[in-house]
Every structure is written in C-alpha cells, then in structure tokens.
Amino acid sequence: MFTITVFAKNEEENIPFVADRLLARYDAGRIVFVLDGNVEPTARILAERRIRFLQGPGKGKGAAIRFAIRTIDSEILVFMDADGSHDPDEIDRLLEPLTNDGAEMVIGSRFLGGSEELHGGMSDRIRYAGNVLGNRIINALWNRTGTKITDAQNGFRSVMRKPFLALALAEDDFSIEQEMVIKCLKRGYRIREVPSFELRRKYGRSHISNSHFFRYAACMARNLPK
C-alpha cells in the first residue's frame, strides 16, 4: 500500500494542475496533501476534488515531512512538491525498487533524467553547483555502498515508512531531504536512484533561495562522522 504525499505552501495557483494530473492516474484515496501557509484557498480546491488534506505544523518543509511520516498510516510514502515540477507518470519508477529490490528509499534524480530548473539563470546555476558539491561531500563522508548518490536534494522520492520512523529526523526546512540521505547511509539503509525529469514550476517562484546553502552546510556539520 502506498500513499502519494504532496507538500504545498501557498501553491494555490498550481494545485488544480497537480491534483488533476494525479487524479488522471490514481484514485483520490491514494493522495494526501500536507498544507502549510495560507491553507484555505488550497483546501477548497482539494475538497472540490475529494482529495484528503492535512494541515501541517507550519514550520517548514522538513517539519511537514516529519509530520507526514508520523501521521500517514501507509507502508510506503511517495513525496512530491506541489509546484508542478514532478511528473506523476514517474511514480511507478519510484515504487519498483522498494517492492522488488528491498530499498528503503528511492530518489528521482534530475542528474540522471534532466531538468528545466537547474540550468536556467545564474541563481539556478548556483543551486546546481551547490547540489553537485553536496552530493560529492555526502559520497565522500557517508556513502560506503559503492553506488554514488547523484541528487540528495531532490524532493521527489519514495520511502518505506516504518524504517524512517527510526531515523530521528530533525531538520525543519528543505535540508531534511539531504538529512534523510545522510541518516539512511549511516544506518545502512539501501538507497536507489531512478531517472526523473524535472519540469519548470507552473506558477510562482521557488521557496528555495541560495541562502539555504548555509542550512545544508549546517545539516552536514551536525551529522559529521564521530
């Protein structure tokens, strides 16, 4: 059993597009939105489509992910963003290694599949460089599996819920995705990556800024091998 969990903060312009694409492939009972920010507009859109939604803790994406892992009673959780950048047609790729290869987490890698976001303006290029650097540090310090991680920061991923309850995740913002990778590697969990093509967000601007570099660095420092 799997549940598709979509994280949304003030994404009401994008919600109809994302919700309808999901409903074209999956029953509404398989979908849950976790809402932060201004909940009311998004809640109305989802209620019209009979999609379940939960109000998150309002402390950032990391807090919302930890809330979802604790709250949603499903063997497998698929995590998606609500900006239209993740393709529901790729969800089956994220599920297969969990059910057939014994993985605890599967990441959709933009470095294997491509991206419309990471190769745009200067800000996108800085984010790209930061992601590459972060992957290299993670592989050097924590990864002893022989299979290199290429996209530790992508939010499009699937996890086995029960093992993740034991990870003691702590990050409140976007750095949780990196923290998940590091703590999985430290515990010996199996991580797989599959190609994923990232679309440019439909409307609005990303909530991630280049200032988040310092949060990713702080997350690494907190998890340094002892």
- What's the confidence (pLDDT) of residue 200? 87
**What one-letter code names the amino acid at 149?**
I
- Report the distance separating Cα 219 and Cα 25, nearest Å: 36
Per-residue pLDDT tens listing for the chain (226 residues)? 899 999 999 999 999 999 999 999 999 999 999 999 889 999 999 999 999 999 999 999 999 999 999 999 999 999 999 999 999 999 999 999 999 999 999 999 999 999 887 656 666 677 788 889 999 999 999 999 888 999 999 999 999 999 999 999 999 999 999 999 999 999 999 999 999 999 988 876 766 655 677 888 899 999 987 6
Other Cβ atoms within 10 Å of 140 Cβ, number: 9
**What one-letter code names the amino acid at 188?**
G
Q: What is the CATH number of the domain that holds 186?
A: 3.90.550.10
> Which residues have CB under 8 Å from 155's CB, separation 6+?
7, 61, 79, 80, 81, 86, 174, 177
* Domain interval for residue 167: 2-222
- What's the confidence (pLDDT) of residue 161? 97
- What's the confidence (pLDDT) of residue 82? 95
**DSSP structural state of residue 200:** P
Q: Which of 194, 127, 206, 207 is nearest to 157 (CA)?
A: 194
Instruction: Indicate the angle between helix axes 176-187 and 122-141, nearest 10 degrees.
Output: 20
**Number of compact structural domains in the chain:** 1
- What's the confidence (pLDDT) of residue 208? 63
- What's the confidence (pLDDT) of residue 120? 60
Asked if 89 contacts 175 with a C-beta cutoff of 8 angstroms, the reply is: no
- Report the distance separating Cα 123 and Cα 94, nearest Å: 28
pTM above 0.85, yes or no: yes
